[in-house]
Amino acid sequence: MRTIFRRAHVCDPSQGVDKVADVVVDEGKVLAIVEDSTPYDVGGCEVIDCSGLVLTPGLIDLHVHLREPGYEYKEDVQSGTEAAVVGGFSAVCCMPNTDPPLDEPAVIRGLLKRAEAVGLARVYPIAAITKGLQPEGLAEMAALKEAGAVAVTDDAYPLQLAEVLRRGMEYAAQLGLTVMTHCEDKSLTRDACMNEGLTATIMGLRGMPPVAEEIQVARNCLMSLYTGCRLHILHVSTAGAVRIIRWAKEMGAPVTAETCPHYFALTDEACLGYNTNAKMNPPLRTQADCDAIIQGLLDGTIDAIATDHAPHASHEKAQEFALAPFGIVGLETAFALSYTELVSTGRMSLSQLVDKMSCQPAKVLALPGGTLAPGSPADIALFDLRRKWTVRASEFRSKSRNTPFEGWELQGKPVLTMVGGRVLYREGM
């Protein structure tokens, strides 16, 4: 069926479009962006009045933990992709630290089957770089790619040995797979649970020094330069990491990077009071780091904003700070947080933000979507940017409630998400 989005503020940075227009969708694809869609309105079209709303390519999240298989009590494909579409995301890339991990073709195929049956946001599995997410021993990347993995990663189990990273990158490069890395020198973060600095010193908690992240960012960038393998740096959190990535790009390394809204919206002071909902890895840093992250986004050093959506059950977070698991949920707050912190403060334009949350993520892994060019999949998000709303974790579609943003007033609400021409989420319109 044909759908016409009428009188939307269309913002598609991939084509430099930023104007009021009508968007025509037919057979799951974008047919046209036109001033006047009357000629297209023939025989039972669904017409959606978008006056006052912003229409963008659906958001794409490069970094999500769906927790299935193995930890369905935290999240599963159903609840996770539901949270995604509520957040304006038409596609999510999911991380391999499940049980069993995504290190075998059968697990990848099983996951994709589930995602298809659920039929919400598109799911792109990222496979493990090593078998069993162990310190060494490469996973069968060729077979994993054939089964549907779009990249490989060590997320949550950062490779400590440069030799393993080297072989992993050489092997991935020949297959055209991007390697994504969580950067952390574990010898510097033993038993640590938050950022090392004044706040951790006051709280009496072991801190992770920023240099633990930066050492591996530098090493991994150098290895990317040496092997020629495409490298994507996950969740950048420090000012030093931004500088190193900027340098690596200048050197011609095939490197991309992402950050998450919490790394520019919060500092480690959010942990005060032993708030485990502010416990994540990498940890929240300082204001100077937040400022550098924003600068990195603006000058293109950081390509994308991802969520690192990491659901955990309430009883797991209701523990002593050092014992609680790392991670926060993010799918349902990411756009509004970014809009509120970056665009409504005048630091970034709307189209820059859409670029970071949709076009660039698509480019990083060469995924479909991220554009409204005619012929591309009709993955679309609609936002009411005037709408102010208060974060209430109890209303999340995600199974988990671990957000440090409870009670925050945010601006900008996703009101409709379409994937492949099907409206999967619609609210208040």
Partner 1 sequence: MFTDLITLRETEPEDIRLLLDTAQSFKEILDRSVKKVPTLRGRQVVTLFYEASTRTRVSFENAAKIMSADTTSVAAATSSVQKGESLLDTVRNLRAMRIDCLVMRHPQSGSAHLVAQALDIPVVNAGDGMHEHPTQALLDMLTIRQHKGKLEALTVAIVGDIMHSRVARSNLWGLTKMGAKVRFVGPATLLPRDVQRLPVEVYTDLRRGLEGADVVMALRLQQERMERGLLPSLREYSQRWGINARALEVTKPDCIVMHPGPMNRGVEIADDVADGGRSVILEQVTNGVAVRMAVLYHLLGGEAAA
The span of 77-85, 180-188, 203-211, 368-376 binding Zn ion (CB under 5 A) equals 180-188
| Complex with partner 1: residue 209 or 300, whichever CB lies closer | 209
| Complex with partner 1: residue 272 or 366, whichever CB lies closer | 272
State in angstroms the smallest separation of the CB of 58 from Zn ion. Answer: 24
Selecting among 22, 103, 303, 308, the annotated active-site residue is 308
Residue whose beta carbon is closest to Zn ion: 182
Q: Residues 13, 16, 18, 22: is their CA dihedral positive or negative?
A: negative
Q: State the residues that interact with partner 1 by CB under 8 A.
A: 196-198, 200-207, 209, 273-274, 315, 318-323
In contact, 396 and 332? CB cutoff 8 Å = yes
**366 CB contacts (<8 Å, ≥6 apart)?**
none
State the Cα–Cα distance between residues 202 and 213, nearest whole angstrom. Answer: 22
State in angstroms the smallest separation of the CB of 323 from partner 1. Answer: 7
Identify the H or E element spanning 226.
helix 210-227
In contact, 95 and 124? CB cutoff 8 Å = no
| Complex with Zn ion: residue 55 or 192, whichever CB lies closer | 192
Task: Look at residues 219, 254, 218, 213 and name the one whose alpha carbon lies nearest to residue 235.
Answer: 213
State in angstroms the smallest separation of the CB of 154 from Zn ion. Answer: 9
Selection from Zn ion, partner 1, none that 322 binds (CB < 5 to 8 A by kind) is: partner 1
| Complex with Zn ion: residue 12 or 155, whichever CB lies closer | 155
Q: Are strands 122-128 and 151-153 parallel, antiparallel or unpaired?
A: parallel
Selection from Zn ion, partner 1, none that 106 binds (CB < 5 to 8 A by kind) is: none
State the Cα–Cα distance between residues 48 and 56, nearest whole angstrom. Answer: 15
Among 74, 182, 312, 401, binds Zn ion (CB under 5 A): 182
Could you tell me how many residues of this chain bind Zn ion (CB under 5 A)? 2
Distances from the Cα of 326 to the Cα of 310, 311, 351, angstroms: 8, 9, 32
| Complex with partner 1: residue 196 or 341, whichever CB lies closer | 196
In contact, 107 and 422? CB cutoff 8 Å = no
Q: Does 303 bind Zn ion (CB under 5 A)?
A: no
Give SS3 for 41: coil
State in angstroms the smallest separation of the CB of 396 from Zn ion. Answer: 21
Selection from partner 1, Zn ion, none that 202 binds (CB < 5 to 8 A by kind) is: partner 1
State in angstroms the smallest separation of the CB of 276 from Zn ion. Answer: 17
CB atoms within 10 A of CB 1: 12
Q: Does 184 bind Zn ion (CB under 5 A)?
A: no
State in angstroms the smallest separation of the CB of 356 from partner 1. Answer: 31
State the Cα–Cα distance between residues 278 and 283, nearest whole angstrom. Answer: 8
22 in active site: no
Selection from partner 1, Zn ion, none that 155 binds (CB < 5 to 8 A by kind) is: Zn ion
Task: Look at residues 171, 101, 162 and name the one whose alpha carbon lies nearest to residue 138.
Answer: 171
Task: Look at residues 319, 381, 129 and name the one whose alpha carbon lies nearest to residue 234.
Answer: 129
| Complex with Zn ion: residue 157 or 405, whichever CB lies closer | 157
Selection from partner 1, Zn ion, none that 225 binds (CB < 5 to 8 A by kind) is: none
State the Cα–Cα distance between residues 429 and 426, nearest whole angstrom. Answer: 7
The site for Zn ion (CB under 5 A) is made up of: 155, 182
Active site residues: 308
